[in-house]
Structure 1
Amino acid sequence: MELKITLSGKGNGSTYSRLSFFLCILLYFWVLFNPVNGYSMKHCRIRESLNTSVLCDGRNLNAVPADIPLLVRSVNIAKNNISQIKREDFKDLTILKMLIMYSNRISHVENGSFSDLVALEQLNLAFNKLTSLSDQMFKGLDNLTVLQLENNHISSIASSSFQLLFSLKVLNLTSNKLHCFKELKHILQLPSLLKLFIGNNSLNSLQSQEISNRSIGLTELDLSRNPLEIFSVTADIFPYLKKLDLSFCGINGSMEWDVADRYFLSNVSSLDLSGIHMSLQGIGSVLQSINFSLASLGLDKIGKYNLINVACHIPTLKTLRLQCNNFSSVSDKLLQSCTQVTDLDISGNNITDLSEAAFRSIKNLKTLRLGYDGLSSVPNATRNLRTLKKLDLSHNIIKTLGCSDFSNLRRLEKLYLNNNLISKLEGCVFLDLRALNSLTLRRNRILNLGDAFTKGLQHLKSLDLGFNKLTNIRTNDFKSLRSLEDLSLYDNEIKTLEDGAFVGLAKLKNLVLLNNVIGKSEIRGAVFKGLRSLKTLNMASNAIKYEKDEQLQQPPFTDLSSLENLYIFSQHYNDLKDTKLLDLDTHSCSVDLGIFYFISTTSLVLLTLLGSFIYHLLRWQVVYAYYLFLAYLHDSKRRNRQTPHQYDAFVSYNTHDECWVVRELLPELEGVQGWKLCLHHRDFQPGKPIIENITDAIYRSRKTICVITHRYLQSEWCSREIQVASFRLFDEQKDVLILVFLEEIPDHQLSPYHRMRRLVKRRTYLSWPRAGEDTRVFWQKLQVALETRDWPAEENPILTGVERQ
C-alpha cells in the first residue's frame, strides 16, 4: 500500500454515480438485516456489534434520552448530570441486557422505572446520590444477575426491595452508609446470590443468630473497612463460602472473633486479613478457624513477624501476601516454614537486606513480587529459583543488570523491570531466560539496546520499552525475537530508524512508535521490510512532514500487506493543517470500491434467491441428506471402534401405537422369545439430543423393527428413524430392517413417502393379522427374522410375506 498525500483534481462523475447506487443498495440490506442500523440519535451514537449498543456517556445530559431504539442490547449513560429516573425513561426496552448509569447525580428512582426491562442482566448505578432503596424500585428485573450500587449514600433498604430479584448473583453495596447487618437479612436469603460486597460501610457487627437460621448460598463476602467489633458465627450459615475479606476491619485492635465450630468456615480458600484491627492472639484464632482449605492469605500492613510462622503452618496455603509490613531485612529463617507456598508477595517493604538464602526453603515457588522495595540491584536471592515463572522487580532503584542476575531462571515467563533506573543492557543479561514471553522495561533510562535482543529470547511475545531515552533503532536490533507480537517504543526520543530496524520480527502484530521525533526521511519502505504480519502501526505525535505535490521515492508501507490500523495524527510539523480534506488524493492507497460493492450485492441477491429456492422446493431433500450424513459419520465411528451390539432390535413406532408395542410386541419378544429390545420411551438417554439417541439406538442394535401405521408415516421423528435405518441397510448390505404393517396402507398413500415406497417394493414385510386371526404364524416369522444375522439383504430366503408390485 502506497501512502501518498497530494492535492488532486476531481474524480470521474460516472464512477461516483455508480458507486453511490451500489452504496444505497448495500445500505438497504444493512438496515434490512438489522433495523437498529436505520436509527440515529441526537445526543448519542450507536455502535454496531453482536450486541448493539447506545453510547451516551460523558454528554452532559440532564435526562435519559427519549429516542433510544427499542432493539438495542446495551445502553451506556454514564458520566452525565442525570438526577432522577422516571417511569417512562426505559419503556418498552424489553430486550435490553445491560444498563450503565454510573457517575451521574441520581438521587431518586420512580417506582416501576425498570419494570419493562424484563431481559436486563446487568445494572450499574454506582457513584450516584441514592440514599434509600424503595419497595418497588427493582420491580420487573427478574433476570438481573449483576447489580452495582457502590459509592452512593444508601442508609436504608426496604424489606421487599430485593424480593423479586430471583436471578441476582452479584450485589455491590461498597462505600455506602449502611449501619446494621440485620437490615441485609432479606438480601442474604436471595436464592441465587453468590457474591456480596458491603465493604466501607458503618457495619459494627456480624452475628449469625441475627441474620439467618438456615444456610446462605454466598461464595464470596467482602466486609473490608467496616468498624466491626465482633464477627460471630454460631451456626453453619456459610457452608459454601470460599472467599472472605476482612481487611482493615475493626477499630483500635478491638475486633473479636467468635466462630463456635472450626468446621463452620471449612470451605474458605481465600482470606484477607490485611490491616485488620485485632490482637495477635485474635488473628491466630482466625487462622486456626480457617485452616482446612485455605489457599490464599493476605497479611498486608500487619507488622507482626510471628504471624508468618503461624500462617505457613497451614498445609494447604499456596499464596501469601505480605505487602507493606516494613520488613527492612529478610533473613534465612523468616520464610523457612513456608515450604508449600507457590506465590509470594513481599513488595512495598523497603527491603535493604535480603539474604541470599531467603527463598531457598520454598521449593516450588512460581511467583515472586519484590516491587516497591528500594532494591538497588537484582538480589542474589532470586537466582537459581528453577521453578519461578513470574518475577516482579518493578518500582525499585535498580541501575544496572549483570550477566548472572537471571541465571538458571529457565522457566521464567514474565519479568517486570519497569520504573527503575536502568540505563544500559548487556548482550548477556537475558540469555538464560529461555521461556520468557513477556518483558517490561518501561520507564527506565535506557539509551541504547546494545546486543540485548540479538541473541536468545526466542519465545518472547511482548516487549515494552516505553518512556526511555532511546534515540536510534539500528539494523538487526531485534533480530532474535522471532516470536515477538507486541513491541512498544512510545515516549522515547527516537529520531533515526535504520533500514532493517525491525528485521526478524515476522510475527509482529502491533508496533507503537507514538510520541517520538521521527521525521519523514526515516519513513521508508526498507524500514518496515519483513513485517508481513503487522496489523497496527502507531506513529502519531512525531515529526513527519510532507510538502505539497511531493512524490515519495520509497513508499513506506508497501510491504505491510496485513496492516489494518495506521495512526499518523498530531505530527509536530504537519503541512496538511491548511488543506481541505476533500482535496486529498487517496487513490494510491485505495481500491476500486465500485466493482467490490457490485460483486458483494450481486452475490448477496443470488444467495438470497438460491436460499429461498432451496427452502421452498428442496427443503426435505436437504434435511434427508443431513441425517444421512450423520448416520454415515456414526457408522464410520462404530466400524473404527468395532463396538458389539447392545440390543437385538430397536423398535421404531409412533407414540399412538405404543399400546400395541407394550401389550403385544414387548411381552412376546422379550418375555417369551427372550430378545433384548431398545424402546425410545424406556432406553433413550435423558438430556441427549434426540437424533443422537436415534442413531445410537439403530447402530447398537442388530435389527430395526419399523411398526408402520398411517400415523407413523405422518410423524417427522419416525421418518428420520427409518431414514437412518435404511441408510444402514444400503450401506452394510445386510438384513437389518424388518417392516411390520399394523394397518393396510394402499399404494397411493405410500406414494408421497418415496423412501418407504422403495423399501416396500424391494423387500418383503410382515402384516399383523386381522382381528380374530391366529397370530402364531406372525410371531414365528418375526422370530425367524430376528434370528438371521449375516444374510445379505437381497438373499434372505427366510422372511416371507406379500410382495408389493
Structure 2
Amino acid sequence: MACFALLWRCWYGELVQVYYWAVLNGFHLRDTVRKCFVAGKKENVRKLPIMANSPSFVAWIFIFKTGCSLCFPAENNNVINNSSSSLTAVPSNLPSQTEILDLSQNSITEIHIQDFASLHWLRSLNLSINRINNVANASFRSNQNLECLDLSKNELSSIECQFLYNVTSLKYLDISYNRFHSLTLGKAFRFLKNLEYLGLGSREAINLQKNDLKEISRKQFQEVSIGLKHLSEYDPGTLLVLRTTKLHIVLPSAGTSDLLRKVLHDAFISSDTLKLSNINCSQTCNDYVNGFKALEKFSRISNLLLENLTLSWQDLMSITRSIWEMTIKHINIFNTELYEIKSSVVQYSDIVLETLIFRGLRVTTFYFSQPVIYDFFAKLKVENLTISDSDLIFMTCPEQGNHYKFIDFTDNSITSDFFFQDCTSLNLLETFILQQNKLLEFYKVTTMTRYMKSLKNLDVSQNQLTLDEKANCLWTNSLKKLNLSSNRLTDLVFTCLPSNLEVLDMEKNDISIVPKGINNLEMMKELYLGSNKLIRLPECSNFRNLEILFVEENLYQEPSTNFLQTCQRLTRLNAASNPYTCTCHLRDFSRMKENTQIELVGWPESYQCTYPENLRGTLLKDFHVSEVMCNTAVLLVIILGSMIVLAVVMALTCHFLDLPWYLRMICQWTQMKRRTMKTDSHQLSENLVYHAFVSYSQHDSGWVKEQMLPYLEKRENPFRICLHERHFIPGKGIIENIINCIEKSYKSIFVLSPNFVQSEWCHYELYFAQHQVLSEQSDNLILIVLEPIPQYMIPSKYYKLKSLMAKKTYLEWPKDKSKQRLFWANLQAAIGIKLTASTEKTLV
C-alpha cells in the first residue's frame, strides 16, 4: 500500500522530522510515511542535526521532498478518513471542502462519475485495497486540484486508464498490484505532464516490452516502482526507456536466471538510485549471485537498496562482495532473514564503502556462531555503518585501520558491560548512535568514548542509564553533542559531563534541579531538559553561552527572579506546559515576549496559570498585576504619601471642627461611665445624702444657679446637690459644715475659675475634699474649668490645685452652645449613681 493509506494521519511539518529518522535508518518514501503513522506524534526538529549525518541523507532527500509535497498539504484541516469502514460504495455525504480523503481497505467495487463530483478541492485520494474493477472515464473531471491518487491493490484489468484524461494536475499515481494482463500504458499517461511518482505492477503473469512504456518515455520522474514478481517475458532495454532518479523493482522469482539477468542488467544502468525487492534464496541463490557478479563493470548506480531478503549468511556475503566491486557508494539492506550462519572465508574488498545500512536483520537459526557476524563488521572498510532493529547484543572492537566515521546501532539489545571498552581503533568516529538499547551504567558509556578522539556526536537516548555517586567519568575531549534523553538519570549527571559540550539533551529523566556552580559547561549552547521534575528554572550563570533552552513539562511554578538577567545570550526558550503560579514573581516572565527578542516556543497557548484557583486556565499573556502590588518601593511611597495626606486632612479637620475637644470629652465620659458602672451603690456609706457637693466662688454663683443646678435638679431623675447657701447648718463652724457636706456627698464638684483661686473658703473645701479622696482611696473629685486659669495666677498655697489639674482629667465649660450638650452628658456620667432608699429617708 502506498503512502496515501496513512497520509491523513501525518502533516507536512511532522513528516519532515520523521523523514530524518527514516533516513537515519534507511527507510524509503513509503516506509517513512508508515513510520509517521506508527509514531503518531512529532519528534523535535532540534534533534535532526545528528540524524542528518546519516549517509543516505543525500541519496533520499529529493525523494522525500517529492512525497511530502505531493501527498501531504501544508494545511489539512479538511481531512476525511473512512478507511476500514466496510464500505461497498463511495459515501454520498462527503463534505464539499474535503482535501484529503482516505477510502482504503473497504469493499468498493466501482467508481462512478458522480462519486467525487462535488469535491472541487480534493487533492489527495486513497482508494487502495478495495475491489475496484471499473473506474468511469469522467470520474475525476471535477477534481482539477487532484495531485495524489492511489488505486493499488484492486481488481482493475485495463491499464488504459481512460479516467486519467481529466486529472492533468496529478503528481503521484499508484496503480500497482492490480490484475493487468499487460503493462502497455494508454495514451492518457501522455497528458500527465506533472507526474513525478508512478507505481506499476500486476498480480497476473505479464510480458514487458519496450513499447509498453513509450507513453512515458519522455517524462522525467522522481521515482518509478514496477512490480515484476510475475514477469514471464522481458524485452531487453525496456527499463532503459524510463527517465527516473529512483527505480524500484520487485524482482521475478528465482529460477528464471536468464530473465533475472536481463532485468538486473537494465536496472543497474537505468538510474542513480535502485531498489530491489523480493530476493528469496530459500531454494537457490545462484541466479541472484551470478546476476550481480555479471554487472560489476556495467553499473552506474551509486545508491542500492535491497529489501525483503531470505538467504544464508554465505549467500549474503557473496552478494555483498559482488556489490562492493561496483561503483556503488551507499548500500541499504532491509528486512533480511538469515539462516545457516557458518564460518566461511570472506574476501574483503579494498574499496572503502561510504554507507552500509542493515535494518531488520533477523537470524532464524537458533544456534549460530556470533563471532562470525562480529568479525565481518570488525573487518569492513566502510565510513558509515548502520545496524538497527536487528537484536544486536554485542559488537567487537573494529580492527585498526578502519574508516568508521558514523555508527548507528539503534533499536538493538546492546548492554554496556563490555561494549567497546578499551577500544582504541575508532579514532575517526565522529557520530555514534546507541539509541533504544539496554545500556545500564552511565559511567561505562563515558569510558567507552575516552579513546574516540574525533567523536563529536553521541546519542544514548531511550536506554536505562543510571549514575552512581562514586562513578568515575572519563570522557573524550572532542564531544560536542550528547543525547541522554529517556533514561533514569538524576541531578548527579551534572557532575559527570564532558567539559566541551555544546548541545545536551536530557529530556525525560528524573532531574529535579540543576546544581549551581557548574564551571565546566561554559561552552554549552543548547540545553534540553523537558519532561523532567525540575522545581525551578536553571540559571544561565552555569551556562554563560546558552542560546537555546527547553524546559517544558516540568514542575516549577515560577522562574527565579534573576533568570532573565543571567540568560543574556538566550535566543530560544521552551517553557510550555508547566504549573505556573500567577503572582508578582511571574510578572516579568509573562512580559518576556514583549520586552526581549527571545523566541518563546508554544507561546501563548501552552503558557497558562495553574495557581491560584481563580486564575486556573488563564493565559500568561492575559495575566496582569499592577505595579503597586509588586513594587515594594512604590507601595511604600504610596502608603507614606497617603498617611501624610491623611494627617494633614485630620489636622485641618481638627483645627476647623475642634475635634480634639470632642475626643477628649468623649474619652472622659467613657472613663467616668466605666468607673460609675464598677461602683456598687450598696457599698456606699449609709450617711451618704447628696449626689454632689458643689464648691464655687461667689462670683461664679450666677453660672451655678442659672446653668448647672437647673440641668442637674430638674431632670427626670434629679440629682441632689449640696450648696453651702442651702445646706450649711447655722450655728456650726464653716469648716465643720464643709467637712459634714463633703462626707455626705458622693462627689465633690469644684467650679474652677480665676475667682475660685482668690477665695479662701474654696481653698478649704478643696483641701478637705482631696483629703477624703486620699483617705478613702476613691475618685470623687470633679473639676470643672469654667474659665481658663493661667498657671501664674494660681497662688503658691494652691500647690495641690496645680497638682490635681496636672494629673486629673477635668471638664471644660464650652462657650459654644453646640458643645454644651456633650459637657452635660459627661457631668451626668461623672455623677451618675442611684442612692439607696435608706439614704433618701435620711435626707427626708
TM-score by length of 2: 0.50
Q: 2:189 aligns with which of 162, 165, 173?
A: 162
Deviation by residue 1:350-398 (Cα, 9 ceiling, x = unmatched)? 5556444x34241x21111234143233422654522112112223322
Q: How far apart, CA to CA, are the structure 2 residues paired with 1:488 and 1:139? A: 55
**2:150 aligned partner:** 125
Corresponding residue SS for 1:139? helix
**Aligned counterparts of 1:342 and 1:464: Cα–Cα separation in 2:** 26
Match of 1:420 in 2: 463
**Match for residue 537 of structure 1?**
574
Equivalent residues of 1:321, 1:346 under 8 A apart? yes
Cα 1:117–1:365 change in 2 (3 A) is same
2:79 is matched with which residue: 38, 57, 63? 57
Does 1:556 find its partner at 2:589? yes
Query: 2:476 aligned to 429, 432, 457, which one?
Result: 432
Q: Does 1:523 align with 2:559?
A: yes
Aligned to 1:262: 295
Q: 1:137: which partner in 2?
A: 163
Pairs within 5 Å for 1:71-150: 75-78=99-102, 99-102=123-126, 107=132, 109-115=135-141, 122-125=147-150, 131=156, 135-142=161-168, 144-148=170-174
| Alpha-carbon distance change, 254 to 206 in structure 1, aligned in 2, over 3 angstroms | farther
CA 1:59–1:397: 2 relative to 1, 3 Å = closer
Taking the aligned partners of 1:584 and 1:410, their CA distance within structure 2 comes to 48
The reply on whether 1:566 has 2:610 as its aligned counterpart is no
The alpha-carbon distance between structure 1 residues 183 and 410, as it changes in their structure 2 partners (threshold 3 A), is: same
SS in 2 for 1:451: helix
Cα RMSD for the two superposed structures: 5.0
Deviation (angstroms), 1:534: 4.0
1:233 aligned residue? 261
> Partner letter of residue 296 of structure 1?
H
Give the corresponding residue for 2:490: 447
C-alpha deviation, 1:138, in angstroms: 1.7
Please say if residues 512 and 537 of structure 1, whose CA atoms lie closer than 8 Å, have aligned partners that are also in contact. yes
- Following TM superposition, by how much is the alpha carbon of 1:408 offset from its aligned partner in structure 2, in angstroms? 3.9
Q: CA deviation at 1:135?
A: 2.1
Aligned-partner Cα distance in 2 for 1:472–1:582: 26
In terms of fraction of residues, the more helix-rich structure is 2
CA contact (8 A) 2:143 2:167 kept: yes
Give the Cα separation in 1 of the matches to 2:179 and 2:415. Answer: 45
Deviation at 1:419, TM superposition (A): 2.2
Which range is displaced more, 282-291 or 314-323?
282-291
Listed as ranges, the matches of 1:630-779 within 5 Å are none
- 2:589 partner SS: coil
Query: Residue 291 of structure 1 aligns with which residue?
Result: 325
> Does the 8 Å CA contact 2:184/2:211 hold for their aligned counterparts?
no
Which structure 2 segments of 5+ residues have no match?
A: 1-72, 83-89, 364-368, 627-844
In the other structure, the counterpart of 1:733 is: none
Question: Is the counterpart of residue 390 in structure 1 residue 431 in structure 2?
Answer: yes
1:443-482 pair list within 5 angstroms = 443-452=486-495, 456-460=499-503, 463-475=504-516, 480=521, 482=523
Taking only the aligned residue pairs, the percentage that are identical comes to 13
In the alignment, does 2:198 pair up with 1:171?
yes
Deviation at 1:144, TM superposition (A): 3.9
Tell me the distance in 1 between the aligned counterparts of 2:515 and 2:384: 39
Contact 2:197 2:223 in 1 (8 A): yes
Secondary structure of 2:208's aligned partner: helix
SS at match of 2:198: strand
Distance 2:466 2:149 in 1: 46
Q: In the alignment, which of 334, 347, 352 is matched to residue 376 of structure 2?
A: 334
SS of 1:387's equivalent? Answer: coil
1:380/1:93 Cα in 2 relative to 1: closer, same or farther (>3 Å)? same
Give the Cα separation in 2 of the matches to 1:308 and 1:497. 60
Secondary structure (helix, strand or coil) at the match of 1:345 reads: strand
Matched, 1:379 2:420: yes
Letter in 2 for 1:234: K
Secondary structure of the 2:376 match is coil
1:162–1:187 contact (8 Å) kept in structure 2: no
Where 1:556 maps in the other structure, the secondary structure is helix
Letter in 1 for 2:273: K
Q: RCO greater where, 1 or 2, for CA within 8 Å and sep 6 or more?
A: 1
- Structure 1 residue 435, shift from structure 2 partner: 5.0
**Aligned partners of 2:175 and 2:439: how far apart in 1?**
43
Change (3 A) 1:536 1:210: same
Residue 242 of structure 1, CA deviation: 2.9
Distance 2:423 2:307 in 1: 26
| Whole-angstrom CA distance in 2 between matches of 1:159 and 1:382 | 58
Amino acid at match of 1:415: L
- Name the counterpart of 2:731: none
Distance 1:333 1:53, change over 3 A: closer
- CA distance in 1: counterparts of 2:619 and 2:462, whole angstroms: 45
What's 2:648 paired with? none
Residue among 222, 226, 234 paired with 2:248: 222
**How far did residue 425 of structure 1 move?**
7.9
Residues 180 and 537 from structure 1, CA distance in 2 versus in 1: closer, same or farther, beyond 3 angstroms? Answer: same
Q: Which residue of 1 aligns with 2:552?
A: 513
Distance 1:478 1:566 in 2: 32
8 Å Cα contact 1:406-1:429 kept in structure 2? no
Q: Distance in 1 between matches of 2:523 and 2:224?
A: 45
Where does the alignment leave 5 or more consecutive residues of structure 1 unmatched? 1-50, 70-74, 590-805
Distance 1:265 1:568 in 2: 59
Aligned-residue offset at 1:249: 2.8
Counterpart contact for 2:229–2:250, Cα < 8 Å: no
Residues 450, 399 of structure 1: CA spacing in aligned structure 2 closer, same or farther, 3 A cutoff?
same
